[in-house]
């Protein structure tokens, strides 16, 4: 049997240079993005492996990854710009697969969380470096199409994570959800030596703001803790509400800190760009809705329709299969009319998918008529919204801010994912779930999708804006 490297190397070598760079960067991003959602599928299996741990404790294996990813992604973009995007990309990939092995070999939830933190740091290093390498590889007039395809890769990986994870975990155990990263990562490192070219963006100073990172980590962590523990007998409602408020204060305290710090975690002036500001606000809203949707699907399939894990993963596949063609098509359309119409249409369609699941499925499994229509709606929505948000966030930013701007956009969506996971754990981790338990989940989904649509109205990436700027 041919190895992964033997199978894919000839395919990569036949591509034009720019698309060869895109292929290697995309494979690595697919691997890293997969691990942001793959544990949705393995949540129950891992919990059974550690019977002394609670669902709230295990949720930190997902949330810790996302929180550290959100905080470290921004300085990682600066590291890639200064020390070399190829170098940081390869370093991040090696750290990611090493930590993946540690995750699979963990003997307790505590060590799994620790390994996930290091895995997240690896993902932080490779992600902005990969995007910067791709942007450098394409001429300016072709970047819209490349960004559409790039966004599709990340969106598809995030969407396919639960489905692929279900099969891997059912066949080999939850450990293989992590071990599978090792051959993929080694292939990327091998190909990087010859395909990638070093790219730097010199900076006089490095923005490695420890205080800013702690404000973000502790703030988001406090909000997630307060939500997850809301039904715990160990904490009063007043105490948990106070912790959530403290988390918000910690995050907002970054604003005055950034104004007095000469080298803050990120420059607040980036948010003077209205499109950048609203693309990131929409990213938080959509990130919450996205993680709620996918996490709750597994609870429904296993608890209401009593599907096996593999069947549950397969049942979710039609939606993700719609993501890539939709995203590629939306990239081409955006190059002519901009991203705003696609974002608004996609957000409204996403709300309709939530409405479908709120009203249609019942206790009796009827997959073809009750599930697939909602899946197709959600897949089209994700294909329209996720890549468009990624592209809109960096639209109009100067070349020196590509990596940092992309890092901020990824970070805010990770913050949304943390909050979404926390809400789902709070509402659906019960011994016996009923259909009524899902009504609040899908209601939140609908509201967040509509909020995303409203936040996308000020986004302006129409091509005429680019032409005016170039003149």
Render pLDDT for 232-276 as a digit per residue (tens, 0 to 9).
878 899 999 999 999 999 999 999 999 898 888 888 888 888 999
Sign of CA dihedral 269, 270, 275, 278: negative
The percent of residues above 70 in pLDDT, for the chain, comes to: 91
Residues 6+ apart with CB under 8 A from 165: 34, 37, 38, 39, 40, 41, 42, 177, 313
pLDDT band, very low/low/confident/very high, at 467 (cuts 50, 70, 90): very low
Does residue 1 carry a pLDDT above 50? no
Does residue 228 carry a pLDDT above 50? yes
Whose structure tokens read 């609040």? 440
CA-nearest of 347, 377, 346, 342 to 359 is: 377
Does residue 159 carry a pLDDT above 70? no
Residue 201 or residue 460, greater confidence: 460
pLDDT band, very low/low/confident/very high, at 19 (cuts 50, 70, 90): confident
CA-nearest of 273, 276, 256, 272 to 264 is: 256
Residues 6+ apart with CB under 8 A from 314: 163, 166, 167
Question: What would the pLDDT profile of 370-382 be if each residue is shown by its tens digit?
Answer: 999 999 999 999 9
What pLDDT does residue 124 have?
Answer: 87
The per-residue pLDDT of the chain, averaged, comes to 86
Dist. CA 465–CA 454, nearest whole Å = 21
Q: Please, what is the Cα angle at 28 between 24 and 29, to 5 degrees? A: 115
Does residue 471 carry a pLDDT above 50? no
Question: What would the pLDDT profile of 51-97 be if each residue is shown by its tens digit?
Answer: 888 888 899 988 998 899 888 877 887 788 778 889 999 999 999 99
Buried b vs exposed e over 153-189: b needs ≥16 C-beta within 10 Å? bbbbbbbbbbbbbbbbbbeeebbbbbbbbbebbbbbb
pLDDT band, very low/low/confident/very high, at 450 (cuts 50, 70, 90): very high
C-alpha R_g of the chain: 21
Burial (0-12, 13-18, 19+ Cβ within 10 Å), 54: middle
- The H-assigned helical ranges of 138-201 are 143-172, 176-179, 181-195
In a 3-state reduction of DSSP, which class is residue 263?
A: coil
Residues 6+ apart with CB under 8 A from 222: 243, 244, 246, 247, 250
Question: What would the pLDDT profile of 96-149 be if each residue is shown by its tens digit?
Answer: 999 999 999 999 999 999 999 999 999 989 988 888 888 888 887 777 778 778
3-state class percentages of the chain: helix first, strand second, coil last, to nearest 5: 80, 0, 20
What pLDDT does residue 207 have?
Answer: 63
Does residue 210 carry a pLDDT above 90? no
Residue 246 or residue 430, greater confidence: 246
Does residue 205 carry a pLDDT above 60? no
pLDDT band, very low/low/confident/very high, at 336 (cuts 50, 70, 90): confident
Dist. CA 270–CA 407, nearest whole Å = 12
- The H-assigned helical ranges of 262-371 are 274-303, 309-316, 318-337, 340-359
For residue 78 the two structure tokens come to 């600066």
CA-nearest of 266, 264, 271, 269 to 211 is: 264
CA-nearest of 438, 424, 383, 417 to 160 is: 383
For residue 50 the two structure tokens come to 């550690």
Does residue 156 carry a pLDDT above 50? yes
Q: How many residues does the chain have?
A: 471
Dist. CA 222–CA 226, nearest whole Å = 6
């Amino acid at each position: 049997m041919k190895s992964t490297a033997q199978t894919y190397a000839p395919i990569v070598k036949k591509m034009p240079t720019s698309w060869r760079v895109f292929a290697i960067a995309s494979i690595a991003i697919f691997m890293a993005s997969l691990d942001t959602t793959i544990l949705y599928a393995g949540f129950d299996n891992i919990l059974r492996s550690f019977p002394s741990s609670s669902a709230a404790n295990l949720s930190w294996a997902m949330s810790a990854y996302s929180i550290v990813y959100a905080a470290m992604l921004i300085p990682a973009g600066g590291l890639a710009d200064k020390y070399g995007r190829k170098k940081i990309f390869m370093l991040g990939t090696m750290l990611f697969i090493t930590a993946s092995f540690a995750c699979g070999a963990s003997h307790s939830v505590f060590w799994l969380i620790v390994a996930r933190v290091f895995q997240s740091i690896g993902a932080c290093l490779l992600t902005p470096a990969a995007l910067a390498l791709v942007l450098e590889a394409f001429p300016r007039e072709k970047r819209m199409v490349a960004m559409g395809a790039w966004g599709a890769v990340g969106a598809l990986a995030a969407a396919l994570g639960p489905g692929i994870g279900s099969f891997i975990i059912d066949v080999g155990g939850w450990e293989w959800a992590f071990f599978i990263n090792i051959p993929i990562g080694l292939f990327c490192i091998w190909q990087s030596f010859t395909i990638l070219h070093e790219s730097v963006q010199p900076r006089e100073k490095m923005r490695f703001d420890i205080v800013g990172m702690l404000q973000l980590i502790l703030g988001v962590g406090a909000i997630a803790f307060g939500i997850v523990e809301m039904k715990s007998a160990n904490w009063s409602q007043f105490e948990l509400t106070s912790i959530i408020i403290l988390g918000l204060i910690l995050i907002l305290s970054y604003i005055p800190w950034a104004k007095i710090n000469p080298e803050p975690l990120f420059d607040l002036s980036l948010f003077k760009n209205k499109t950048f500001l609203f693309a990131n606000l929409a990213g938080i809203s959509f990130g919450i809705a996205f993680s709620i949707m996918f996490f709750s699907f597994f609870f429904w399939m296993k608890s209401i329709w009593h599907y096996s894990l593999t069947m549950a993963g397969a049942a979710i596949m039609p939606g993700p299969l719609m993501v890539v063609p939709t995203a590629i098509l939306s990239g081409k359309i955006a190059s002519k009319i901009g991203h705003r119409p696609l974002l608004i249409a996609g957000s409204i369609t996403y709300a309709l998918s939530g409405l479908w699941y709120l009203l249609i499925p019942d206790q009796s499994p009827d997959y073809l008529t009750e599930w697939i229509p909602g899946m197709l709606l959600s897949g089209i929505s994700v294909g329209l919204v996720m890549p468009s948000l990624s592209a809109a966030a960096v639209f109009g930013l100067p070349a020196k801010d590509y990596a940092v701007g992309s890092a901020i956009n990824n970070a805010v969506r990770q913050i949304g994912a943390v909050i979404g996971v926390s809400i789902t754990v709070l509402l659906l981790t019960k011994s016996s779930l009923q259909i009524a338990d899902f009504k609040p989940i899908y209601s939140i989904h609908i509201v967040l999708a509509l909020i995303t649509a409203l936040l996308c109205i000020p986004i302006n990436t129409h091509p005429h804006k680019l032409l005016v700027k170039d003149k």
